[in-house]
Structure 1
Amino acid sequence: MFTPTITRSMALCLAVSVCGTQAVQASGFMLPESSTAGIGLSNALVANPDERGAFAYNPAAMGFHATSSLAVGTYFIGPNFSVDTASGHHDSQGADWMALPMIQGAFSLDERWRLGLGVSVPFGLETRWSDGTFPAVSGTRSIGAYSIPLGHPLTSKLEIIDVSPTVAYRLNDALSLSAGIDVYWARQAKLDSTLGTLTGDGYGFGFNLGALYRQGPWSLGAAFRSSATLELEGDFVPKSSVLVSLGRLARAQTGELDLALPWRLQLGARYAFDERLAVEFDISRSGWSAFNDIKVTSKATGALIFVDQNDWNDANAYRLGATYQWNDQTQLRFGYTYDETGQDDDHFSARVPDNDRHLFSLGLAQSLGNGLSLEAAYMYVRAVERDYRGASPYTGGDLNGSTALAGDYSMDAHLIGLEIVKVF
């Protein structure tokens, strides 16, 4: 049987743990990197009609390429998270390095139509804080003769794969339009909450639209990806059999959870100074207000267990990217982004210790002949340190925004992208 306090806590932990796995490239838990060119240009590619790495950001760019192509690559992420709390300095024990796929195919059907297919990981990653990091929820407490763990949340892991088929239509020499769908698969959703462990997976669907206009040295681009709701299903295993027997903790069961992903809008302008140098400026807005509430229901009965409010804010990112054609075979890339957080103190979460970020990047594209090219890129991410003291007292229920998470948070990350591109 669920008590109100336990039910509220479980819903919160499901919501925070599933949705709060640590992303390091953009606000919240978003991973916008979808090509090596994107990493090298800090994702400023929505108005780029020349680079094939732009297809993943704005599929309308396919309309400006007469040939077909296939790009296959991966990027490696090395994140570092730390916090200073009342118990001292602590580093997150998540994976040191992770590898994520980047695949993009673009196929020319005739003079006007193009067909694309992309595979990426737009949301996810991992955090793992050791027991003792947050004293208010660390250790045990005594109930009669039993020592009951306070339930320090240790692990969050989420990986969402997006398979996106798209079509592009070249209206005339200046304008190309695109449309597609996004099939999201939460391949891994695993967490250790204050109450137990939840593992599961699920699916969701969205759509995307794009437009790219080029006139002389100028090009203007716009790309939109809709919000989507992933229907997750998982097995919840409680931490304490004693609390279950006392009716103070939920029994093992299957639960359902709706996870709302934010919409994303990117607008950009690019200017080619000459045949060698081009510069692009983009503004991206992420609709984190769509990530408003989490509804947890019983798989067996369909009854509503709890509704948790997140109340994040929409947030902007400002991106600048430059390409320089060193010679016929070699292109250099440079980028910078200032990325705002959508998370305020009222709902601050240690699973997403988010703050405004600076992204610095550089890249290289080298032609190998016979339609082959090799691309590489590096990005450094540095978050503004966050001195968080808590928006409300911790009373044993809702961790988000509470004094239990008080501390000085810092984060940085290194990204390395590698990709091979074949034009045919």
Structure 2
Amino acid sequence: MTTHRRFRRAALPAALLTALAAGPAAQASGFAVPESSVAGLGTANAMVANPDEIGAFVYNPAAMAFHDQSSLAVGALMIGPDFSVRTDSGSHDSAGADWLAAPMLQAALRINDQWSVGLGVTAPFGLETRWETGTFPALTNSAPLPSPPFPAGNTIPLSPQPTASELEIVDINPTATYRVNQHLALSAGADIYWGKSAQLNSSITQLEGDGTGLGFNVSALYVKDALSLGINFHSAATVELDGTYSVLDSNLVATQFSAPSQSGELDLDLPWRLQLGIRYEVTPQLAVEVDWTRTGWSEFKEIKVIGDLNGDTIVQDTNDWSDANAYRLGATYQLTDQTQLRFGYSYDETGQEDDYFSPRIPDNDRHLFSLGVSHALQDGWQVEAGYMYVMISERDVRGSRPYAGAGPEINGTDAVAGKYEAHAHLVGLEVSKRFDLF
């Protein structure tokens, strides 16, 4: 069940709308942002089999069953992305925000020895890129408008160039956990997705709006002595976005690039996610975890916009992404009774093939390096900090097919050819409190 919200402004071209689903973040492949707690940030997100840390709940809610107190954790993730591309017109930096913020909240209430309930709030998907007009020369040139009624001498861009792209999706995640026995716990919950903001602009159009969608998640955690095994699955979901679209120049209305302003609907397909983890306490101080994540990017096949005037398909764009893997290694070291050190490394594969490469997200395989620290205070309080560096492999895009010279379809063509480079810094801070509910 989903509900619709209203766009304040929206855009039309397929290239622009493709970016909504095509991508953000410099933190994980595609447009996923898996850093959901500061503990996860410090261990490169290798947390699905961790029964000890409050920060593991968002990666595997079944971990709540192995804590004998309730807890509340509140924090924020700061993301500093850096994108650039070298095209025939020179080197261009993405002029996005220097730092982006994402929320982190996790509440866990212990009802009794068998049952616990939780509520998490994170931002698992996001996007921020901004290319100045002229970055892609093939899309900057223009041609005369068709004959009157258009004013004589006016020109039209050969295709809309992607400019500003911004997307933030918040996941409100209520869960219930049942401890089957001493070693095994099961959990199930809902993923209530709120498309908090969406802005996708081109050289001739603009888009802003929001919407909602619904999915589910299930997880399990098995703990015996020094060994623990975890699994977590989030279903695919569709965020339904409603709104109106408009163009920046009224002369473009009724051309191949746009249509009259009207209300419209856009469905954004989110991928399913499967996480498996194994953790072993090598010594009382040192624990090591290895995780594998499979993200179902094949769910993201097309973008289709339906207009309200005649119910016509205004935009239909193919993306055809592939499922992708991530391999994560994390370690925790209990330096003292109060202080824990964390380290992590992850290799994330991209799901974006050359055939539909989008300049709104210079996505590629990436290496994630992280470290963190937590310190326990008095009366159940704990403070945590983490840092991650994301190194994205350079991508030399040639274009899988020639650009047709007109029309909105530019993804995967030689019109967006260039050398794309990106990296990101992530910093997280979180405060938590353990307490007895009853």
- Output the TM-score relative to the length of structure 2: 0.92
Alignment partner of 1:228 out of 234, 237, 262: 237
In the alignment, structure 1 segments of 5+ residues that lack a partner are 1-8
What is the one-letter code of the residue matched to 1:403? D
Q: Which residue of 2 aligns with 1:44?
A: 46
SS in 1 for 2:18: helix
Indicate the larger mover: 10-19 or 165-174.
Answer: 10-19
Structure 1 residue 393: Cα displacement: 0.6
Report the counterpart of residue 4 of structure 1 in structure 2.
Answer: none
Shift of 1:10: 3.9
State whether residues 23 and 360 of structure 2, in contact with CA within 8 Å, keep that contact through their aligned partners in structure 1: yes
Q: CA deviation at 1:199?
A: 1.8
**Residue identity opposite 1:145 in structure 2:** G
The yes-or-no answer on 1:255 pairing with 2:259 is no
CA-based RMSD of the aligned residues comes to: 1.5
Q: 2:402 aligns with which of 374, 389, 393?
A: 393
Q: Shift in Å at residue 247 of structure 1?
A: 7.7
The DSSP-based 3-state class of the residue aligned with 2:311 is coil
> What is the CA-CA distance between 1:200 and the residue it aligns to?
1.6
Tell me, yes or no, if structure 1 residue 413 matches structure 2 residue 413.
Answer: no
Matching residue's letter, 2:43: L
The Cα shift of 1:20 comes to: 2.9
Q: Does structure 2 retain, via aligned residues, the 8 Å contact 1:21–1:157?
A: no
Letter in 1 for 2:424: A
**Does 1:77 find its partner at 2:85?**
no
| 2: CA distance, partners of 1:15 / 1:244 | 18
| 8 Å contact from structure 1 (residues 31, 123) kept in 2 | yes
Q: Return the alpha-carbon distance in structure 2 between the equivalents of residues 407 and 342 of structure 1.
A: 19
Counterparts of 1:230 and 1:260, CA distance in 2:
6
Q: Aligned runs of 1:50-65 on 2, under 5 Å?
A: 50-65=52-67
The letter for the 2-side match of 1:168 is T
Residue in 2 that maps onto 1:310: 319
Alignment partner, residue 35 of structure 2: 33
1:403 to 404, 408, 414: 414
Moved more, 395-404 or 408-417: 395-404
- Matched residue of 2:400: which SS? coil
Q: Deviations over 1:218-275 (max 9, x none)?
A: 1000000000001111221113211226686311112100110000000000000121
Q: Is the 8 A contact 1:20 1:156 kept in 2?
A: no
1:17–1:193 CA contact under 8 A, matched in 2: no
Q: 1:243 matched to which residue of 2?
A: 252
3-state SS of paired residue (1:337): strand
Residue 55 to residue 247, structure 1, CA distance change in 2 (3 Å): closer
Matched letter for residue 130 of structure 1:
E
SS of 2:298's partner is: helix
Q: 1:296 to 1:69 in 2, by over 3 A?
A: same
Match for residue 5 of structure 2? none
Q: Report the alpha carbon displacement of residue 141 of structure 1 after superposing the two structures with TM.
A: 3.5
**Residues 145 and 72 (structure 1 numbering): CA distance in 2 closer, same or farther, change over 3 Å?**
same
CA displacement at 1:171 relative to structure 2: 0.5
Q: Does 1:275 align with 2:251?
A: no
The 1:314/1:247 distance shift into structure 2, 3 A limit, reads closer
Q: CA deviation at 1:106?
A: 0.3
1:378 pairs with 2:380: no
Count of residues in correspondence between the two structures = 416
After superposition, residues 281-300 of structure 1 pair within 5 angstroms as 281-300=290-309
1:168 to 169, 177, 185: 177
In the alignment, the residues of structure 2 paired with residue 32 and residue 61 of structure 1 have an alpha-carbon distance, to the nearest angstrom, of: 18
CA deviation after TM superposition for structure 1 residue 299, in Å: 2.7
Query: Tell me, what secondary structure is at the counterpart of 2:361?
Result: coil
Residue aligning to 1:24:
26
Distance change (3 Å), C-alpha of 1:26 and 1:247: closer
Aligned residue for 1:384, secondary structure, equals: strand
The within-5 A match list for 1:321-400 is 321-395=330-404, 396-397=406-407, 398-400=409-411
Amino acid at match of 2:252: L
Partners of 1:303 and 1:248 in 2: CA distance = 15
Q: Distance in 1 between matches of 2:104 and 2:39?
A: 11
Contact 2:302 2:316 in 1 (8 A): yes
**Normalised by the size of structure 1, how large is the TM-score?**
0.95
User: 2-side partners of 1:262 and 1:74: how far apart?
Assistant: 24
Describe the shift of the 1:247–1:62 C-alpha distance in structure 2 as closer, same or farther (beyond 3 A). closer
| 1:367-417 CA distance string (max 9 Å, x none) | 111100100000000011111100011112311100001000111000000
**What is the percent sequence identity of the aligned residues?**
57
Contact 2:17 2:200 in 1 (8 A): no
Provide the rounded CA distance (Å) in 1 between the counterparts of 2:392 and 2:256. 43
1:67 maps onto 2:78 in alignment:
no
Unpaired runs of 5+ residues, structure 2, are 1-10, 146-151
2:116 is matched by which residue type in structure 1? R
With over 3 angstroms needed to count, the CA separation of the structure-2 counterparts of 1:355 and 1:247, relative to structure 1, is: closer
Quick one: distance in 1 between partners of 2:397 and 2:255? 36
For the residue of structure 2 that corresponds to 1:311, the secondary structure is coil
Name the structure 2 match of 1:147.
Answer: 155
Secondary structure of 1:242's counterpart equals helix
